[in-house]
Amino acid sequence: MAYPEITLVRHGETEWSLSGRHTGRSDIPLTAKGEEAARGLASRLAGITPAAVWSSPSARARNTCALSGFGASAVIKDDLAEWDYGDYEGITTKEILKTRPGWQLFRDGCPNGETAAATGARADRIITELRTLDAPVLIFSSSHFLRVLAARWLGLPPEGGEKFVLDTASVSVLGYEHDLTEPVIRRWNGR
């Protein structure tokens, strides 16, 4: 018996992802390279027949979805939004460390933004929907949220997302091994 696979797509490159600036709720557009990579996803996702296509509300995720050929069937899910970086929105980790030595996103969260637990709670709601649907789903979102989603899929704490890295326009697949009680990562950060 084949078990449903959940395909995760990180949005294409933006100016902020290129420069390492934390991009949570700001709507930064895809660069020309990001748009090209999003169009290139169409061939990489060929053969996937999802029962549902879900996207973060961000323009970068929605545009990646549309440029890859799945925009017409996409449903926007607010819970797929990127981590809310609060006061650290638009700032690089290097800049944050100048004023807050030792800071780590997954451990410390963001002032006036989200903690790992809050991001994990949103991931848990998505996972509940996925397991209820029990069908292949294609998801477009952002790096830190998808990393937390992967951790929670495996039953790890949200902070476990720090161990996964995602490049822009990457494709990853969550699934199961022997049965529905054994969630696994089938593929990660495919380029």
Catalytic machinery residues: 11, 82
Torsions phi, psi for 190 (to 5 deg): -70, 135
Q: Specify the 3-state DSSP secondary structure of 166.
A: coil
CB atoms within 10 A of CB 134: 11
Residue 181: count other Cβ atoms within 10 Å of its Cβ.
7
Q: Give the closest residue to 168 by CA, choosing from 5, 25, 18.
A: 18
Q: CA-CA distance, 122 to 38, in Å (whole number)?
A: 25
Q: What is the residue whose two structure tokens read 């991009």?
A: 23
CA distances, 63 to each of 58, 101, 107 (Å): 8, 36, 31
Of all residues in the chain, what percent are helix, strand and coil, respectively (each to 5)? 45, 20, 40
